[in-house]
Amino acid sequence: MKRLKDILRNVCITFTVLALVFGIACKMHILESVMYEEAIFTLFVMALATTLFVMIRESILPNIEVGKGIIDMIGCMVIVLFICVIKGWATLSRAYFIMIFAMVFIIYLSVWLLTWWQSKRDEKELNALLKRKDSKNKD
């Protein structure tokens, strides 16, 4: 039951994010011939498919640290793009795929680098504070 609740929550979050991204993409004319009546159902299918992909990855590879984000990112991107192509919203061109992949990859890498850099700084600071506390306790 808890699992079902988690799945539904993740699907809702993914659906909202996808709807926002697709709204922007349509407004900017990045996606073509989107039928708005069908879009909601398709976005829901996308959200469900990406959530299931992440769940399957979690059950097959639960303990990986670094590769987790990259696998999820590539898998979800392929699912979303593939559905877009099937629906006729985007053309299957290599340049299009490479461009989106590069953009997502750069964003992912920047976020990862920033987080890692921040945690390195925290590590240094916390260890210094811990050392200080221990030396004070010894005194």
Partner 1 sequence: MKLNIEQSDQYKEVEITIKYSSTDAYLERLINQIRAYGYVIQGKTEKDTILVRADDIFYFESIEGKTFIYGEKEVYRCDLRLYQIEQQFCNGLFVRISKSNILNVEKLKSFRAKLNGRLEAKLINGECLEVKRHYVADLKKCLLEMGGLR
Task: Tell me which residues touch partner 1 (CB under 8 A).
Answer: 65-66, 68-69, 112, 115-116, 118-120, 122-123, 125-127, 129-130, 132-133, 136
CB of 37 or CB of 65, closer to partner 1: 65
Nearer to partner 1, 8 or 129 (CB): 129
By beta-carbon proximity to partner 1, the closer residue of 7 and 45 is: 7
Task: Return the residue matching tokens 């992912």.
Answer: 108
Task: Enter the DSSP assignment of 66.
Answer: S
For the bound state, the minimum distance from the C-beta of residue 80 to partner 1, rounded and expressed in Å, comes to: 23
Number of Cβ within a 10 Å radius of residue 2? 6
Most distant CA pair in the chain: distance in Å? 73
Q: Least Å distance between CB 62 and partner 1?
A: 13
Shortest distance (Å) from residue 138 CB to partner 1: 12
C-alpha 51/C-alpha 71 separation (Å) is: 13
Instruction: Provide the 3-class DSSP secondary structure of residue 129.
Output: helix
Sign of the C-alpha dihedral computed for residues 46, 49, 53 and 59 taken in this order: positive
**Nearest approach, Cβ of 122 to partner 1 (angstroms)?**
5
Distance, CA of 91 to CA of 81 (rounded, Å): 9
Q: Using the minimum distance from each CB to partner 1, give the nearer residue, 40 or 114.
A: 114
